[in-house]
Structures are given as C-alpha cells and as structure tokens.
Structure 1
Amino acid sequence: MDHWRSQSPHGPIDQWESRATMDRFLKQVAAVGYDAIDTFDFRWYQIMGEYGSVANYQEYVQEHGLDRIVNTFHAADYDPRNYAPHIPATHANILEDFRVTMDRWSGIQLDNIIVMPATLYYDMEPVTEDKLKITADLWNQVGAITKDAGVRLTCHHEFFCGIQSRWELDTFYAHTDPEYVHLFVDTAQHCIASVDPIEFYEAYADRVSGFHFKDTRNHDLIGDYRRRPDSEIMADTTERWFYEMGDEGGLVDFEGFIRAVARRGFDGYLSVEHDKANKLGGDHAESTAIAAWYAKNVLERVAAEEVAK
C-alpha cells in the first residue's frame, strides 16, 4: 500500500511529488521484492495530471518491474450531512460516487476497491443493529455496482471506524450479501480494537479478498477510537500506532496468521501497509525493506511448512 514519505530540501514529500520521486519509489519497492502496488482512489487526480490515464500510469509502474496496480482504497470524506452509510438520506450520493469511481478506474483491471464501511465512530455512535442493517444495505448496493465493473467491494475496518468491535463486525456481516460484500483484514487495526485477527480471519475466510499486513504495540483500552478529529494522530496515549512485521514489541502473531491463511488456501496478493511509519524517527523505505525481509525469510518458510503438513 503506497503510504510513503521521504525528506526533500523543502520538507517531507510523498512519491507523487514528481516523476523523479515516483521513479525512485517504484524502484525501491521493486528492488526489495514486492510484486505490485495498491494505491488510493484520490490519486486519480494526480494520475490524470501527470500520466494522462490510469492505464498510462500502470504502464509506468510495469516499466519499473512491478506487475500492476492490484487494489485501490476509496478514502471517502465521511460527513453525516452528505456521506454517511448509516444515514439513508446520503445513500443516493454515495451510490453515484461509486458509479463515477468505477468509470474512472475502468482503464485497468483492479481486484478490489477497499472501503472503510462506516463513518468515524464518534459520528455513528451509539452503534445499533438498525444502523448496521442500514449500512449493510448500502454496501450490498455498492457491491452490485463494483461487481458489474468486475471489481470486488471489500471492507477494511480501522479501529476508529463505526464498525470495529467483534459484535459490530459480526452483526454487519450477517446483514451483508457475500456475493457483493467482501472483507479486507488489517492485522494491526483489528488487534488495536481487541479483535483477534486470526480468529476473525478464520471466521470469515470465505469472504476475505485481501489483507493489510502491519503490526502494532498497543491495544486501545481507553476509547482512543473516539478521539476527534483523527484517532491515529490525536490519541494522547500512543504517538505511533503502526510498525512493520517482525517488530520486537509487536502484538500480532504473524506466524500463526500466515499458517491460517495457508491452511485456507488463499490465492491472491498479500498487501504490506506502513501507515505513518515516519513517526518517532521511523522511515517508510526502511519499514518497507524490513517487512520484505520478514515476508521472505519468515512468512514464506512458515507458509511452506503449513502447506507441507
């Protein structure tokens, strides 16, 4: 997942700063062994301005030794006034947004469009079964739109999302149609929300269409998920939430997780994500390389052992 920051003479920049910075980013990702990238939906504007079309940008990615763009994350600006899945009056706007979105990305073949399926928790609470049913109905309709475009709709649950506890997750998926609504497991986000990522994956493996592999050192035990306006930035208790796989203080059992994935025979891309990896002196390039080492030297071995049983 293409979270990325690097230093420049005029301060921190991301890889979309110029063709030169994108060139260096893609070369680094390919050099340490990744096969492909995921990106954000809002990058469409920069893609059109710099490359002319999403197909042209994907060709540029492929020229740098990567297979393709696999998934895009639809990072919507949730606002209860006009874009809130639990509020029926906003549904027409959301559905039209996805019709436009699927047309924008029609120049390439995506596997998934990833969504956070609810507003920020503090905008949705109290979270009730009725609100979850309304939310599920919307995503069933959106999933039909994306399926018509040949792309799976898949849900990613941040720890500050309105659907984050195990009861909320189970209730939401009970009311969604497996044909239209899939699950994208983020190992760290679920762990922060005190949802065991292995148990959760095992319960919904048939609906899982992808993963974000990253670690965390903290459970949220005091309600940081309610922090305004951004729980990942504003929490007084935790300056940095996310770390790369293999972190010494990490809480996620990645060996156990990859064994579960191997047992279920998942056949698809596994995405590494390093959100805000540059906090507290961290470095995106370093985290990306360390995670690649861990995937190659630990996870591949463990998965092969599980398959060989």
Structure 2
Amino acid sequence: MSAATTPGIRLGYAINQWKPNFDDFTRPEQHERALKVIAACGFTGVELRGGTGRWDPLGRPDSIAATYGSTGAFLDVVRRVGLEGVSSWYVDPGEPVDEDLSRGRTLLDRSQHAAVAASLLPFARFLSEAGGSRLVVRALPSAGSLEQPLTADAIGVAADGWNTVADVVAETGVRLSLHVDCLSAAADEKTLTALLAETDPARVGLTLDTAELTVAGLDPVQVFDAHHDRVDHLHLKDTRYIDEAGERLAPHAESSMLSEGGARGIERWFHECGTAGGLVDFPALAERLRARSWSGWAVFESEQTPNPARSTMLNGWYAKRLFP
C-alpha cells in the first residue's frame, strides 16, 4: 500500500540502516526482506549506498550484477515487492574501494578529478536503468581529515571537480547532488555557500540532510531557505543532539564521535523522524516545501538503529502525516 503524499514529493527509503551488519545482509533473501518492509511501510523507492567487497553485495553496480546475474534481475526483485525502483544512490568518493584498488579519492586534488568522474559513472548508468534521478555524493571530506583549513582556492578546486563529474554523469540523464554530513568540511554555512556558488546550478544540486545539518549546528529549515533553488533531494531523519563541543572537527571523528558517542557517550546520534526530543522542525520544513511546490525524492532514513524494520515502520507512519 503506497502512502498518499503531497503532490510532487515521492517517498523513498535508504537501505543504509540495514548495511552495518554486513554478515547479516549478504544474501538475496535478506535484501528482499528489507525491500518488502520498505514497500509495506508506504515507500515507493529505495536509495542504495556505495560500498565495497564481497560483504557488501549491494554496494556497487558490478556487485549487484554478480549477485543477481544482472542489473535487470535485481530491478525485477525491487519492482516485484512493490517498489517503483531505485530512487538514488549515495556514494562517498573518499572511501576505499577494493575493486578499484583505490584508497579513496578526493576532489581537493585536481589530478584526481577524472578518476573520480570515471568511478562514479557506473552508478549513474545503473540509476538511469533503474529509474533513479539522483547520484548523491559526499560534498567534501571530513573536516578532521584535512591537514589545514580550507581556503577559497581549495573550495574552488573541489567545485571544479564536481562540475567535471556532473558533465560526465549528465550523459545518463541523472543529476549530481552534493550531500553534507555532520563531519564534512562542508557542514559550515560559509563553506557550503562558497561551494554552491562555484558549482553549476544547472547540473549540481544539494541534498538537504536534516539530522546531519542539525548535529553540525545548522538549522536545516534555514539552510533550505538560503539554498532552496539548489535543494533537489532530501534525507530525512531526526536527532536529539548538537555537537556543541566541536568533536566532529577532530581527527577520526567517525569512530571517536559517531561510533563511540564522543565525550558524552551518546548511544545514537540519529533517530526516526518525529522522535520524542527530536530537534528537527519537520512541520516547518514541510510547510516550506509546499510553499515552493518543491518536487523530488524525500528519502527517509534512521542510521544507528538497533532494529531497521521497526525504524522503517515508525518513519512510514510519520511520513504519511508529514506529507498527507
């Protein structure tokens, strides 16, 4: 049963919350079970997440083809359970990729731009075949991984890189969208504004992630107000916390803060939309979206959940009320 939604807004769900337990998510029957839960909760598309290795059979187009026999065979499963297709794919070019013998690439190095574009093209081609519309990419590396603060020139180099990637991806009909997570060097209003100013608005959009921005100290509603003309994709999740101590800017914050909870020992940074004590003002954001007749995929997610199916049901309940 599909949820009735605000005209123009399509409801998707991110597969990422199932993936941390790789040993529990390696076989097709497990994938199908997750897709059935997503469909049963009223979502019509699924967002995949980039990954690598035999423990991540949904991490890359070639891994999907190897597991299912072909891209088409996987899409048959997606549609058979009641989903329209794969809405989008999130990929961080900085993550190591075993299949490419890559330790990760960065757009801050101009010499790597062509390699990043080539590595992302297969994802865009897959999305084109799957009916997807957004290749969501991590805008900038973690702030704590940088040897020195970003300069205007460095931001310009990264922007040039994303314009190059967008040119390559455009041949598939899929649009590139920059994602800003709480650890990213782009999770700063000045940096984000500069990066968007130097990327082509006709080819490069912005994915607004409600909880990631909130943890970084940014108000997602204000970010939408400032950059509504670039927002072309949504990641919706809640959080009860803001990183007021700036731990997200430290080296290895992926483990010290997000995984281990930081100095406060926070068990979960991310929660289902509308969770008690959540800081994201979803009704205000929905009002902004309707006022501007925004259209696109609203992809719900709940990272760090101990029970993916339960989180999907809670988000499905909230989605029907947020976008009636």
Do these two structures clear the TM 0.5 threshold for a shared fold by scoring above it?
Answer: yes
Please state if 1:247 is matched with 2:270: no
CA distance in structure 2 between the aligned counterparts of 1:268 and 1:154, rounded to whole angstroms: 12
The residue aligned with 2:112 is: 90
Structure 2 spans left out of the alignment, 5+ residues: 1-13, 52-58, 97-101
Q: Cα–Cα, structure 1 residues 286 and 87, in superposed 2: closer, same or farther, change >3 Å?
A: same
Q: Cα–Cα, structure 1 residues 248 and 241, in superposed 2: closer, same or farther, change >3 Å?
A: same
CA distance in structure 1 between the aligned counterparts of 2:18 and 2:300, rounded to whole angstroms: 16
Aligned partner of 1:35 among 16, 35, 44:
44
Deviation by residue 1:27-66 (Cα, 9 ceiling, x = unmatched): 2111121111110233224312221222221111000011
Please state if 1:23 is matched with 2:32: yes
CA distance in structure 1 between the aligned counterparts of 2:316 and 2:104, rounded to whole angstroms: 40
Aligned to 1:270, the other structure's residue is in SS state strand
Of stretches 59-68 and 16-25 in structure 1, the one that deviates more from structure 2 is 16-25
The residue aligned with 2:259 is: 233
Structure 1 spans left out of the alignment, 5+ residues: 302-309
The residue aligned with 2:239 is: 216
Q: Cα–Cα, structure 1 residues 34 and 99, in superposed 2: closer, same or farther, change >3 Å?
A: closer
1:167: Cα distance to partner? 0.8
Q: Cα–Cα, structure 1 residues 178 and 47, in superposed 2: closer, same or farther, change >3 Å?
A: same
Please show how residues 1-309 of structure 1 align to structure 2 within 5 Å: 1-5=14-18, 12-13=21-22, 16-42=25-51, 43-44=59-60, 45-78=62-95, 83-103=105-125, 105=127, 107-124=129-146, 125-229=148-252, 230=254, 231-234=257-260, 235-237=262-264, 238-278=266-306, 283-296=307-320, 298-301=321-324
CA distance in structure 1 between the aligned counterparts of 2:63 and 2:25, rounded to whole angstroms: 7
CA distance in structure 1 between the aligned counterparts of 2:164 and 2:184, rounded to whole angstroms: 20
Aligned to 2:94, the other structure's residue is in SS state coil
Q: Does 1 or 2 have the higher relative contact order (CA < 8 Å, sep 6+)?
A: 2
CA distance in structure 2 between the aligned counterparts of 1:35 and 1:160, rounded to whole angstroms: 30
TM-score, normalisation: structure 2: 0.84
1:81: Cα distance to partner? 7.8
CA distance in structure 2 between the aligned counterparts of 1:77 and 1:49, rounded to whole angstroms: 24
TM-score, normalisation: structure 1: 0.87
Deviation by residue 1:58-85 (Cα, 9 ceiling, x = unmatched): 1110000111101011133348986111
CA distance in structure 2 between the aligned counterparts of 1:84 and 1:102, rounded to whole angstroms: 19
* Contact 2:18–2:25 (CA under 8 A) maintained in structure 1: no
CA distance in structure 1 between the aligned counterparts of 2:133 and 2:238, rounded to whole angstroms: 24
Q: Which amino acid aligns with 1:173?
A: L
* Contact 2:127–2:174 (CA under 8 A) maintained in structure 1: no
CA distance in structure 2 between the aligned counterparts of 1:15 and 1:52, rounded to whole angstroms: 21
1:243: Cα distance to partner? 0.3
Of stretches 38-47 and 202-211 in structure 1, the one that deviates more from structure 2 is 38-47
Q: Which amino acid aligns with 1:262?
A: R
Q: Percent identity?
A: 27
Q: Which amino acid aligns with 1:38?
A: E
Aligned alpha-carbon RMSD (Å): 2.2
* Contact 2:128–2:173 (CA under 8 A) maintained in structure 1: no
CA distance in structure 2 between the aligned counterparts of 1:179 and 1:266, rounded to whole angstroms: 16
